[in-house]
Structure 1
Amino acid sequence: MEITEVRIKLMEESEDRLRAFCSITLDNSFVVRDLKIIDGSQGPFVAMPSRKLTQRCHRCGMKNYIRSKFCNNCGARQRDNRHSRSDDTPNKLYADVAHPINQECRDMIQVRVITEYHAELERAKEPGYVSRYDDSYEVSAGEKAGADPNTRERVDAPQSASARPPHSSESREQSRSEPS
């Protein structure tokens, strides 16, 4: 696996430890967005994208963020389950959406992203600097034209069957009449 692109969005006026958001592209095929570059005690480090965890309201069953005081649906006061030992109530607030499975992968991401972060800090000093973070990831027609002719657009070959929708009544009638 190769990190083929890193995009950084600097957070200039952030009052907390968040210094930048980042997205990485793996093998020119897969994008992971919303990695965070945070000031740690030993310098900047990369935090994986995460989501805030939820728990169900005891009255209506609607999902609410953990540590919410009231239900967003029915307004019931939520129970404080922070010190609960039950398995269905996590004691953490966030869960990773994507994360490396081994230390080698984590180190590869960390080194590449922090290197690009420092380069982006230097680019930001130049006049007319604009972050590429929000640019589209779609491949343009010009890039497709110059692409390797050995690469294939599809993994499977298209079927040359009729243009009927696969679940139409005609296709069901035909499948019933055909011997199995």
Structure 2
Amino acid sequence: MKISAKINRIVDNPEYATKAYASVTLDGMFAVHGIRIMDGENGLFVNMPSTSFQDNDGNTKYRDTFHAITKPAREAISKAVLNSYNYAIEQSQVTEIEIEQTEGEEEDIEEDLSENFEPVMA
């Protein structure tokens, strides 16, 4: 089975346990949306899409709307989603470059601009 994973949105808030939302495509025939990448006590894990409901005692319960039946299938989906997440995080990293300005450099730039400035008449 071919599993393709795509990160739909990265959550950029360190206070939230949800780090991203993903979708997977199974053999190019079925799509599953609403998969969440969560940060738990033991690190990142994949949380399948679910719906909530009230049990007889009024407690809120959750039931997966999609889940893998076998352990190898569950591991393959998790691996595909987490690999896609890690790749998306690597691609979103920003490189910062700091340019140090020496004394007098700002004046030189202003002089160069004023020398080369020609007003445009409309």
Given the two structures, how large is their TM-score scaled by the length of structure 1? 0.48
In structure 2, what is the equivalent of residue 150 of structure 1?
Answer: none
Distance 1:126 1:108 in 2: 30
Structure showing the higher helix proportion among its residues = 2
5+ long unaligned stretches in structure 2: 96-122
Q: Deviations over 1:85-127 (max 9, x none)?
A: xxxxxx5521100000011111111111111110000111258
Mapped pair 1:24 → 2:53: no
Distance 2:60 2:70 in 1: 22
Measured after TM superposition, the shift of residue 13 of structure 1 is 2.2
Mapped pair 1:102 → 2:70: yes
Distance 1:126 1:52 in 2: 38
5+ long unaligned stretches in structure 1: 54-65, 68-79, 83-90, 128-180
Given the two structures, how large is their TM-score scaled by the length of structure 2? 0.69
Amino acid of the residue matched to residue 72 of structure 2?
E
Amino acid of the residue matched to residue 7 of structure 1?
K
Mapped pair 1:6 → 2:5: yes
From the superposition, tell whether residues 126 and 47 of structure 1 become closer, same or farther in structure 2 (CA, over 3 Å).
same
Distance 1:6 1:103 in 2: 18
In structure 1, what is the equivalent of residue 44 of structure 2?
Answer: 44
Distance 1:32 1:14 in 2: 26
In structure 1, what is the equivalent of residue 57 of structure 2?
Answer: 81
Measured after TM superposition, the shift of residue 81 of structure 1 is 1.6
**What pairs up with 1:17-166 in 2 under 5 angstroms?**
17-53=17-53, 66=54, 81-82=57-58, 93-125=61-93
Percent identity among equivalent residues?
A: 32
Distance 2:70 2:60 in 1: 22
Distance 1:113 1:6 in 2: 5
Structure showing the higher strand proportion among its residues = 2
Distance 1:50 1:40 in 2: 18
